[in-house]
Structure 1
Amino acid sequence: MKKNYQLLPTLALSLFLLGGCAKNEEVAPSITNIAVANPDFQTLEDAAIRGNVALLLGNKNPNDGGNYTVFAPTNAAFARLGLTSAQDLTGLQQPFLRNTLFYHVFSGTLPGSALTPGSSSASALAGLQRRIIRRADNSLYVNGSKILGTDVRASNGLIHPIDKVLLATGADVLNSALALNNGDVFVKPELTFLVEAVLYCNLAGALTATPGSAPITVFAPTDQAFKDLGVLLNVPLNHPKDIRKLPVSVVTSVLLNHVVGGAQGSKFTSELPESTTVLSAGGAPVVLGAFNNGVLTVKGGGNGTNVANMVIPDVQCTNGVVHVIDRVLLP
C-alpha cells in the first residue's frame, strides 16, 4: 500500500505536546521525533541511535538557518540490505554507519522544488555530492534511490522518504573494495575474492582514481559468487588465494567483463540502459535486464540463462559506481 508521507507531521504532532504551554499549543516534532513516531522509520531510528546522530537530528542545525534536510530510507529500504532490526545493524562498523547516515543529510533547507533533474546537492559527508535523476516515467531519484515523497516538515527541517539506502565510500573503487575486504564496512569481510583476483591480475590501476581517468561502472561479485564459480568450473575456490589456481589470462578476461566505461561509466541503476547490451572493458557484451523495483539483472555472454542479481546496488565511489552482484559474469 502506498504511504501518504505528507500526513506524517500531522500524525507525529499529536504525540508531542508541550506540558508547560497554553492549552492546545503543540510542539512541532524534530526530524528525530518523526522517525520515532512513525513505524515506517523504525530501522532508521535504530541506525541513528547506533550511528550516534539521533541527538544531532533532534536539535536545530547551528548553521544554515537552523535546518537540516534528510533523505530518509524507509524500513523496506534497509531491508534490501538485509537490515531489519537493531541487531542486524551491529553487522556494520559504527564509523561506516555514521558516515552513511551523514550522506543522507543536507545542511540547510532543500525543498522538493529544488530537486530538479541533473542537479546535485552536497551532503553532510564532506566532499560528497548526490545526483537527482528523473526517469522516463517521471519518477524522481536521488542517485539510485526513488524519492517516495517530499517536504515532510519538521521543526528543524525537511524529510524526503526514499526507497533505498544511499551508499557512498569517499574512496575510489579499488580502495572501496579494500575497505570491504578489510572488514571496515561490514564486520565480516566481503569482496575478498575480488580483491585477490585484482591483485593477481595486476589490475589495481584500472580501478584507481588517477588524474584524467575515466569514470567506470563496476559489477562486483560477492565472495559466494566466486565460490559458486568454483563449483561450476570444478576448481574449488574456498579461499581467496585459490583464485591463483586459474590461469591469469582467464581471470583477467573475467574481471574486465565486470567493468563498463564510456557513456555507461559511473551510472546508478536509475540511469543504466535497461533491456539492452553494453560492452565491457574487455570487449565482451554484458546484457542488462529490465529495470524492476529499482534494480536490473546483469548477464555475461558465458552465463547462458543465468543472470546476476544486484544485492547491494548504487555504491558511489570517487571514480564511479559499484553494484555488488551475486554471480560472476563470464565473457
Structure 2
Amino acid sequence: MKKNLLFPIALIISFFLVESCAKNNEADPSITNVVVTNPDFQMLEDAAVRGDVAVQLSSKNPSDPQGSYTVFAPTNAAFARLGLNSALDLIALQPAFLRSTLLYHVFSGTLPGSALTPGSMPASALGPTRRIIRRADNSLYVNGSKILRADVPAANGLIHPIDKVLLATGVDVLNSALALEEGLVFVRPELTFLVEAVAYCNLQSALAGSPGSPPLTVFAPTDQAFRELGVALNVPLNQPRDIRNLPVATVRAVLLNHVIAGGAQGGRFTSELPENSTVASAGGGPLVFGSFNNGALTVKGPGNGASAANLVIPDIQCTNGVVHVIDRVLLP
C-alpha cells in the first residue's frame, strides 16, 4: 500500500516546490513557472514533475551562453490524444521513456519562431533532430505536431505550444517495436502480435534497416487490431503465437502492405503524407489515405472495404523512419 502512495506524495511535494519558485519569481517567470501558471499545460506540468525535468527547466541552461532553453510544449489536448488526461494516467508510461520524451521537446539555446524554417532540423536535448514542415495552408509543424503559437517568452528561454506530443525512440523501427513489446514504453506490452508476425516472416532485417537503406513509413497495428481481425476471419488470434497458424506467405503479404519504403512517402510524418491519395506499399498494393483532419488522417488497404484504420499513436520518429500505430490491420 505504501508503494502506491509514493507517486502522489512526490507529486504534491514537487508541485509545492515549483509553485513556491513561481511565487518568488512572478516578475520574470521561468519556463517551469509559465507551465505551472497556465491551465492549458497542466498535463505537461505533471509530466515534467514525474519525468524529473521541472527543476531543470526552472533554471538557466548551463550549456548555453544566454542560459536559454526552447521548449515545444504539448497542451492538455495533446496529451489527451494519447489517452493521458490526468497525473495518474502517466503511470502507464515507463519513467525512463517519459523523461526521454520530455527531453525530445527541448532545444538547448534560443530557437525563435523566425528560425523555424521549413526543412530545418533543430536538435533536441535527447539527441534526435526534429523536422520543421509547412503545409499548403501555411500552418507550421514540428514533425507531425502543429505549432499553435511561437515565442511565448520566459526568463530562461522560449516556449512554442504544440497540439501533439512529440515521440522519438532513438532506435530503428524493429527495435522500437521490440521496446513496446517488452513493456519498455508503456508498462503494459503492446505490438506483441506484430513482433511475432515479423519474426514468423523473417522480416527483422527489413525493419532494422542498414546504412543507405531507404527511410520507412510503417503502420503498426495494435494487438487489439489483430484480435479483431481474427474474429472477422473466424481464425482465433488470442495470443501472438496464433499468428503462426496462418500461412507464412499470407502473413508476409499483409505485413508488407503496412510499409512504404523510400520514394516520396518513405519516412513521413502525418503532416507530410498525401491526403485523399493512393500510395503503393512495399507489397505493391495500394494504400488509400483519407483527409488530413486535426493533425491526422485515415489509411486503408484494398481488403479493408470502407473500414479505414485510424492513427491512434502517430508520428513516432525512429532512426530509419516513422511509425504510426493504427487500430486496424491493413489487408491487401
TM-score (norm 1): 0.92
Residue 47 (structure 1) aligns with: 47
Residue 165 (structure 2) aligns with: 165
Residue 134 (structure 2) aligns with: 134
Residue 298 (structure 2) aligns with: 297
**Inter-CA distance 284–37: structure 2 relative to 1 (3 Å threshold):** same
1:323, 1:16 → 2: CA distance?
A: 38
Deviation string, structure 1 residues 137-189 (Cα, Å, up to 9, x no partner)? 00000000000001000010000000000000000000000000000000000
Residue 57 (structure 1) aligns with: 57
Residue 201 (structure 2) aligns with: 201
Percent identity over the alignment?
A: 75
Is 1:241 aligned to 2:237, yes or no? no
How far did 1:18 drift? 4.6
Residue 122 (structure 2) aligns with: 121
How far did 1:17 drift? 5.6
The range that moved more, 223-232 or 206-215, is 206-215
Say which SS state the counterpart of residue 148 (structure 1) adopts.
Answer: coil
1:157, 1:253 → 2: CA distance?
A: 49
Matched residue type, 2:316: V
Say which SS state the counterpart of residue 209 (structure 2) adopts.
Answer: coil
**Inter-CA distance 252–16: structure 2 relative to 1 (3 Å threshold):** closer
**Inter-CA distance 226–16: structure 2 relative to 1 (3 Å threshold):** closer
2:44, 2:280 → 1: CA distance?
A: 38
Residue 103 (structure 1) aligns with: 104
2:155, 2:264 → 1: CA distance?
A: 43
How far did 1:306 drift? 0.4
Say which SS state the counterpart of residue 205 (structure 1) adopts.
Answer: helix
Say which SS state the counterpart of residue 66 (structure 1) adopts.
Answer: coil
Q: Unaligned stretches of 5+ in structure 1?
A: 1-14, 20-25
Say which SS state the counterpart of residue 195 (structure 2) adopts.
Answer: helix
Contact 1:194 1:223 in 2 (8 A): yes
Say which SS state the counterpart of residue 129 (structure 1) adopts.
Answer: coil
Is 1:307 aligned to 2:308, yes or no? yes
How far did 1:132 drift? 0.3
1:321, 1:243 → 2: CA distance?
A: 25
Aligned Cα root-mean-square deviation (Å): 1.1
Q: Unaligned stretches of 5+ in structure 2?
A: 1-20
1:155, 1:62 → 2: CA distance?
A: 14
1:301, 1:89 → 2: CA distance?
A: 37
2:22, 2:173 → 1: CA distance?
A: 45
Contact 1:181 1:192 in 2 (8 A): yes
Deviation string, structure 1 residues 104-160 (Cα, Å, up to 9, x no partner)? 00000000000011111000002x000000000000000000000010000100000
Contact 1:209 1:318 in 2 (8 A): no
How far did 1:209 drift? 2.6
Say which SS state the counterpart of residue 278 (structure 1) adopts.
Answer: strand
TM-score (norm 2): 0.92
Residue 10 (structure 1) aligns with: none
Paired residue total: 310
Say which SS state the counterpart of residue 170 (structure 1) adopts.
Answer: coil
2:228, 2:94 → 1: CA distance?
A: 27
1:229, 1:264 → 2: CA distance?
A: 27
**Inter-CA distance 63–195: structure 2 relative to 1 (3 Å threshold):** same
Contact 1:16 1:28 in 2 (8 A): no
How far did 1:308 drift? 0.2
How far did 1:63 drift? 1.7
How far did 1:200 drift? 0.2
2:54, 2:226 → 1: CA distance?
A: 39
How far did 1:225 drift? 0.2
Residue 80 (structure 2) aligns with: 79
Deviation string, structure 1 residues 63-120 (Cα, Å, up to 9, x no partner)? 2120000000000000000001010000000000000000000000000000011111
Residue 185 (structure 1) aligns with: 185
Contact 1:32 1:55 in 2 (8 A): yes
Contact 1:301 1:330 in 2 (8 A): yes
How far did 1:212 drift? 1.6
How far did 1:30 drift? 0.6
Say which SS state the counterpart of residue 122 (structure 1) adopts.
Answer: coil
